[in-house]
Structure 1
Amino acid sequence: MEFVVAEDEVWFSVFDVLPRTEEATGDDFVREVRIPVSETEELHLSWDATHRSVRFRHRRESDIVVDVYREHATLLTIEVRDTGPVVVAEYHANGFRGRTAVRFRPTFALTDVLLQT
């Protein structure tokens, strides 16, 4: 399956940040964005185009509050809603389908659904 990721220009137009090579790995196929949620909170989103994986890490100061890692990603995009942007990842493989959605406003919220098919 193909892994479709929102273009760099979309990330920039919505969050004013450009995806870059992930610092931790230095691998050109692993990209990341760091999106400020508040003065003390940040969403660190990384994805591996080759291995079709996505990771959401929500930090509050130096603490990791949420850490969700998913493989078999098919989509990573941004949905613009009335309340603000929502980052969405979808994944699919034999036997399961899932969707993770991260909302920033009015407060941070992460919804993660994984279903057997």
Structure 2
Amino acid sequence: MIILTALLAAQVVALPLPDCGRAAHKSAIALTESLIVKAAPLEIPYVEMGQGQGDEECVRLVFNISNGGAATDIEVAESSRDMIMNLAAIRALRKYTFKSASQGTIQTNTLVFTSRVGGEMPHSPNDH
């Protein structure tokens, strides 16, 4: 029983942190970040954040940019499955302003928002 518990604990520690597609979509994220005119902070009530101390939460959003520079048609593409984090990222993205899309151009954009539960402050994509 003790050996099994230790083995399970070792497996949990060995799991990689979620990246929500950051590596796979690196160039699309960089392109989207270059379009940011005004960012907004990721505001998460820590008391409500889900899992354990020090866990990293992330969400990758896909969206379009309106002619006025607002994010539209926002969808969660990948997530570490924390609904509070997902909603906070969507709220933050709705406050962003982007360079307007060219007339008639529709381009899907993507950003990844991350936060560490019980650790560092949450950050928006352009806070690197």
Alignment TM-score, normalising by the size of structure 2: 0.29
Which protein has the bigger strand share? 1
Alignment TM-score, normalising by the size of structure 1: 0.31
